[in-house]
Chain A
Amino acid sequence: MANHMQFGFQDASSPIMEELMKFHDHALMTALAICSLVLYLLTAMLTEKLSSNTVNAQEIELVWTILPAAVLIMLALPSLQILYMMDEINEPDLTLKAIGHQWYWSYEYTDFKDLLFDSYMTPTADLPLGHFRLLEVDHRVVVPMESPVRVIVTADDVLHSWAVPSLGVKTDAIPGRLNQTSFTVSRPGVFYGQCSEICGANHSFMPIVVESVPLANFESWSSLMSS
C-alpha cells in the first residue's frame, strides 16, 4: 500500500513492476529534458532575448524532425521490450480466477480442489485498530511466493478492473470475456489494490488484497479454506 501522501510508485514486488519502474524513470527524464528545453526557449522568447526573422530554414527543420524521431524510438524500444516480456510463455504454477461483481470480488482456485470464496471490503466501522480504511477485505487472495501465477479476470455484471499496483498488474474485468494476466511475487507480504473501472455506487469500496506466503503456508491455507 502507499504511505501517507505518497507521490511515487509503491515498492515493486514483482520483476515486471521493477522493469516498469526503470522504464518510468527513463521516460520521465526524457520528458523532463524536453520540457526544460521548451521552458527555456519560451522564457527566452518572452523576455525578447530570442527572436528570428528567418523564413527559409531547411537545416533546422531537418534537425527538429530527426531528433524527436530519435527520442520517440528511444522511448518505444524499452516500452515494447517490457510489453513482450509481460506476454512471455511462463508456465504458471497456479491459475486462479478473479470475478468482479457489484461490489465485491470472488476468487476461484480450481487447479486441484475446488476452492471458491468471495472477498468483501471490511466496513470502516468494523475495522480493528490500526487496519487500513477502504483497503482491508475479509478473505485475501493467498498465493505462493516466487511462483508464477496466472489470473483469469472476468466480471459477472458490469466492467471492473483487477489492479494491484505493487505487482504491476491491472486487468479489466469484462462480462463475457476472459482476460489473462500473470505475475510472480518476489517476496512475502501483503499487497493492496482497488477496483480500477467505474462500476457503480460502491466502486471505491471493493478492494483487492494479495497475500504471498511460502508454499507450505499456501498449502495449509488452501486445505483450510476448502474444508
Chain B
Amino acid sequence: MLASRVFSLVGRRSISTSLCLRAHGHAGVVKAEEYTLPSYVDRRDVPLPEVAFVRDLSAQQKALKEKEKASWSALSAEEKVELYRIKFNETYAEMNKGTNEWKTILGGVLFFLGVTGIILIWQKHFMYGAIPHTFSEEWVSAQTKRMLDMRVNPLEGISAQWDFDKNEWKK
C-alpha cells in the first residue's frame, strides 16, 4: 500500500521527466516547462501521448478537425496525414530509425587503438634496451629440455605433451 502510494508520488514524476527529455526541439509546439502538466512524447511504449502534438491549430487545421467529425472515407490521403501530424510528431518508422552514430564511435575507438599501437612501437624501437640472453633460441631449447627432464607439470602441462619413449611431441 505504502509502496504504491510512494510510487504515485515518485513514479509518475520520474516517468514524466524521462518523457519530457524526448520532447525537446519541437519549437513552439509543446514545451516541457512544468513536469507535472501533461506532455507530449514519441516513445514506442507510450503509444498514446497525454496531449496532441500541435496545441494551437491554424484556421485551416481547425477546419480539417471539423471535417474529421464527419465520415472518414470522405478524407483524402493528404488530409489523413495532416490529421496524423497534428496528433503526432514522428511516425513509428521515424521514431525507430537508427542513426549513424556507431560509425563515429567505431572510428574513434580504432583511431585511439592505432595511436596506442604507434606509441608502443615507438617505445620498443627507441626506448627499450635488449632483452635478456635467456630468450635466445639456444637457451630456450636447452630450457625446454631441462623442463622435460625435470618432469615439470607432468599431469596436463608440458611434460604430458612430450612422448618420452619416442622422444618427440605427442601428436
A residues sitting closer than 8 Å to B (CB atoms) are 1, 3, 6, 10-12, 48, 51, 53, 55-56, 124, 127, 129-133, 187, 189-190
Contact = CB atoms under 8 A, between A and B. Distances in A.
B34 interface: no
Given A124-B132, A129-B139, A130-B139, A190 B150 contact: yes
Contacts, number: 50
Nearest to B152: A1
B132 A131 contact: no
B19 to A, nearest CB: 12
16 contacts: A1-B147, A3-B158, A10-B153, A10-B157, A11-B153, A11-B157, A51-B44, A56-B4, A56-B7, A124-B132, A130-B139, A130-B142, A130-B146, A133-B132, A189-B150, A190-B152
Interface residues of B, number: 26
B45 A53 contact: yes
A3 B157 contact: yes
Nearest to A4: B140
Contacts of A130: 139, 142-143, 145-146
**Interface SS majority for chain B:** helix
Contacts of B153: 3, 10-11
B140 to A, nearest CB: 8
A133 B134 contact: yes
B94 interface: no
A56 B11 CA distance: 11
A127 B134 contact: yes
Contacts of A12: 155
